[in-house]
Chain A
Amino acid sequence: MSSTEQGTSSAAPAEPTTAPESAAAPEVPESFYYVHGKDKVVHKVSAGALQHSALIHGMISNLGYTEEQAKANPFPFENIDGDILQMVVDWCNQHKGKPTPPEDTNLPKQKEKLFDLVLAVNYLEIKELLTYCCKQVAMMVKGKSPEEIREIWMIPTDAEDEAAEKEAKKRAGKEAAGETAAAAGDAK
């Protein structure tokens, strides 16, 4: 298993030099967690950066891992491609403890990547990033005609939708018939 170290630079606390003694708060060492996607590449992320994800934040709170346990048990996100998870981790690190700006110009412009990012971010429950991504999705069709939008967003025609619906119904009917036959067989 390969490993990339993410967010380590922000882990070292700056030495307080001029702060008066009475105001100096005790330094709490930052804890780190580990995540990996479909490609099994492990990313080390600070707890502060991971606070953006409601899903991971909830997992951390529920599991109560020590740093050693966390290192030994990276959170697996097998449904997220490695490069997409890398983007998410980068974004979380960049926006750690900062107010989120109204626009984010670093998001991918390629349609496939953006859609995968939306699905991943939706799964990880990162609200601010999801907002940016959805805006980016909307921007893809700015000033486009219905025909162009159909092409960009791969929207089926009414006839295609109807055919798909018929097919789904047919499949559901077959499955139901199969279950009934199996139940009858069991009863015998």
Chain B
Amino acid sequence: MPISLLSLPIADLQYALNCMDVSDLIAFSLCSKRTKNLVKSSNREIESISAKVDENRVRICIMAEIYREDANTRYYRNVVFKLFDSYIELHRNCGIEVWRKQEFTQSHWIAHILSIFDKSMIEELQICQACPIPYLDTVKKIILKCQKLEIRDRCPNDFAKIAISKLSSLAVEMVEINKNIFDDENDISKFLTLNLTSVSLCDHETPFKLKLEDLLTTNIAKLIIRTAIITEKELNRFVKLWIKGSQRFCRLEYIRLHLEDGIEMNRQEVFKGVKYQVTEDLGNLFALTRQDGKELRGSIEGTLILLLFR
């Protein structure tokens, strides 16, 4: 008598699926449309899904909890596979397995994975190192959207700039650059005019030099820079221009600047000639309101400058 898994009562079938590791579940989902739908309806949660671009290949990394019903401690495992048209290479059990699906392009593989884990997009797209420039266009076609684009520190500056110009529009939440790629003063100004929601620039060895113009022209809603170089005088001019209610700053929601170790801002200098309130009971916060009712709040403590615009 032929016996198939799909002839089990649905509750038992779902329980069996719940006991499976994520890589086995993906394999099962690839058997047919019906198995794909079964995996979808199992509502398996994954911790994260990211795409990494190395040389000229996209790797998909899924981090998921290992099934252990009786354990109190949570264990996670990464499932990693390289994308190709019509097949994927899965790194598992110290070896490489090839799973084929003739009709699948690289986009299909991603769409399939996102669909079975009920994700609308890749959470993080990491550009790990330089790849041929035309391949960035391929990446753009494969990964339609991501929450965060990250440019890693191994990317050469010129390549990183091209990668940002080509891929930053994919990031719906944040662009993170883990290297100071800006060779001259104009570079960072130009970058800050991009229409991005949230940007994090991070380099502890080569700090990002900021000028008043950079802050005035920024079109980014949330800006985090670690480590930044800016003078009290320039911040003072920035605050004064903000009080005047210039047409600029309309998008700014917050700026967080981390200065170099040992360099501390003098708040008195930053607010020289400006009327402001200090609420010492709330961690030394300052607040000032301009004529149109908009508020600037924040704190300048040690090497951290936080400005919140409301």
Contact = CB atoms under 8 A, between A and B. Distances in A.
A153 B244 CA distance: 72
B4 A154 contact: yes
What size tier do the contact residues of chain A reach?
20 to 34
B24 A135 contact: no
B8 interface: yes
Nearest to B9: A122
A118 B12 contact: yes
Contact of A134 (B1, B4, B12, B99): B12
Interface string A106-137: 00000110011011001000000011011101
A153 B2 CA distance: 10
B5 A144 contact: no
Interface of B: 1-9, 11-12, 15-17, 19-21, 23-24, 27-28, 30-35, 69-70, 92-93, 97, 99, 101
A155 B32 contact: yes
Given A141-B20, A142-B21, A146-B99, A154 B32 contact: no
B12 A122 contact: yes
Contacts of B12: 118, 122, 130, 133-134, 137
A112 B1 CA distance: 9
A141 B55 CA distance: 34
Interface of A: 102, 111-112, 115-116, 118-119, 122, 130-131, 133-135, 137-139, 141-146, 149-150, 153-158, 161
A145 B27 contact: yes
B33 to A, nearest CB: 5
B3 A115 contact: yes
Given A138-B24, A141-B24, 14 more contacts: A115-B5, A116-B3, A118-B8, A130-B15, A133-B12, A135-B16, A141-B20, A146-B99, A149-B31, A153-B4, A155-B31, A157-B32, A158-B33, A161-B33
B213 to A, nearest CB: 56
A134 B32 contact: no
A134 B15 contact: yes
